[in-house]
Structure 1
Amino acid sequence: MKMKPVKFSQKQVQLCYLLDQLYDQVDIVIHDAVLSRASNRLSVIEDAAKEVERISIEMQQHVNSMRRKKREAAE
């Protein structure tokens, strides 16, 4: 059985990019929280957590833009 190639929309690609950014920031937080002994460890964790918050808000907005618009039943 021949499989058709999957076509990704630009919005799907953007969502994957945001997920990738989110995972990168989470890795930074985990690394600095658990493994790092640097003197500015808490500042780095705080900065990464702010970036995670920014990315998550952007992701929420992006997902909402991807949702199908419901037709108003009261037209």
Structure 2
Amino acid sequence: MEKSPVKLSAKQIQLCKLLDELTEQVNVVMHDAVIFRKSNRLTVIDQGAKEAERLTKEIQALVNSMKRKRKGVE
């Protein structure tokens, strides 16, 4: 039996892209925390953490927009 390919919505594709970006940003922050030996290391880590935070907020907003809305639930 041959399976048909899964069709992803635009929001699902965007979510995957954001998760990839977040993973990459976390890896950059961890790299900077361990290997980066310049005097502004903490500043670089802080900037990376802020970018990761921005991505997580964007992911949360997207996931909330993807949730089904229940009618009559209070």
Q: TM-score of the superposition, structure 2-length normalised? A: 0.93
Residues matched between the structures, number: 74
Matched residue, 2:58: 58
Are residues 1:37 and 2:37 paired?
Answer: yes
1:2 is matched with 2
Fraction of identical pairs, as percent? 55
Q: In the alignment, residue 44 of structure 2 is paired with which amino acid?
A: V
* One-letter amino acid matched to 2:38: A
SS of residue paired to 2:60: helix
Partners of 2:9 and 2:69 lie apart in 1 by 17
Structure 1, gaps ≥5 residues long: none
Distance 1:42 1:73 in 2: 46
Q: Which residue of 1 aligns with 2:22?
A: 22
How far apart are the structure 2 equivalents of 1:29 and 1:73? 41
Distance 1:14 1:28 in 2: 21
